[in-house]
Amino acid sequence: MSRVGKYPVDVPAGVTVAVKDGEVTVKGKLGSLSRQFPAEVGIKVNGNQVEVARLSTSKQARAMWGTARATIQNMVTGVSAGFTKRLEINGVGFRAAVQGKEVLLNLGYSHDVRYAIPNGITIVAEKPTLLVVSGSDRAQVGQVSAEIRAWREPEPYKGKGIQYEGEKILRKEGKKK
């Protein structure tokens, strides 16, 4: 069983952490994140460290101990450095462009796909075939990346579609004559 919860979270300079009634608020140069945690875990700030403790020995408390610690670590990292996911678009005629607050995707459908960019997320089209999704909330960056990828997941025969940078696509052999 993992004991991730026993390690304190180091808070870098320029980041402030406040705890009130189970709600943790983290503020930094990239914004502010707030999250409510269950009553099974106790969270306290000691100087430049945040400590998470189990308040009981129940299964739920043990499960939430490590989860709360990891979530707080992600919040601190997000407001100080941020998170980024890079999406590659492969396929003849497949491309993407950012227009205002939406992403315009040409993915081989009879129409262009328009994806509205949510608040707190920045999407940049470095090339017509490379999208960079960034933000301070790790879960939101991952969710937006997954939603964009879901419009045309990579297929195993030619590899056409949207994939994460560095993702390995298992390729299949096509039909034989």
Host domain of residue 129? 83-164
Helix (H) or strand (E) holding 9: strand 9-10
Q: How many domains does the chain have?
A: 2
Which distant-in-sequence residues (6+ apart) come within 8 Å of 128 by Cβ?
A: 89, 95, 96, 97
pLDDT digits (tens, 9 = 90+) for 25-80: 999 999 899 999 988 899 989 889 999 988 888 888 888 998 999 999 999 999 99
Rounded alpha-carbon distances, angstroms, from residue 20 to 9, 35, 125, 158: 17, 11, 40, 53
Are 15 and 2 in contact by the 8 Å Cβ rule? The answer is no
130 within a domain of the structure (yes/no): yes
- Looking at residue 62, what is its pLDDT? 87
Binned at pLDDT 50, 70 and 90, residue 4 comes out as confident
Same domain for 72 and 124?
Answer: no
60 within a domain of the structure (yes/no): yes
Same domain for 43 and 88?
Answer: no
Same domain for 94 and 156?
Answer: yes
Which distant-in-sequence residues (6+ apart) come within 8 Å of 76 by Cβ?
A: 9, 10, 11, 12, 15, 17, 26, 28, 50
Same domain for 35 and 46?
Answer: yes
- What CATH number is attached to the domain comprising 36? 3.90.930.12
Binned at pLDDT 50, 70 and 90, residue 1 comes out as low
Same domain for 73 and 87?
Answer: no
Of 80, 104, 139, the residue that ends a domain is 80
56 within a domain of the structure (yes/no): yes
- Looking at residue 82, what is its pLDDT? 92
- Looking at residue 2, what is its pLDDT? 66
Same domain for 53 and 90?
Answer: no
Of 80, 105, 133, the residue that ends a domain is 80
116 within a domain of the structure (yes/no): yes
176 within a domain of the structure (yes/no): no
Of 35, 58, 80, the residue that ends a domain is 80
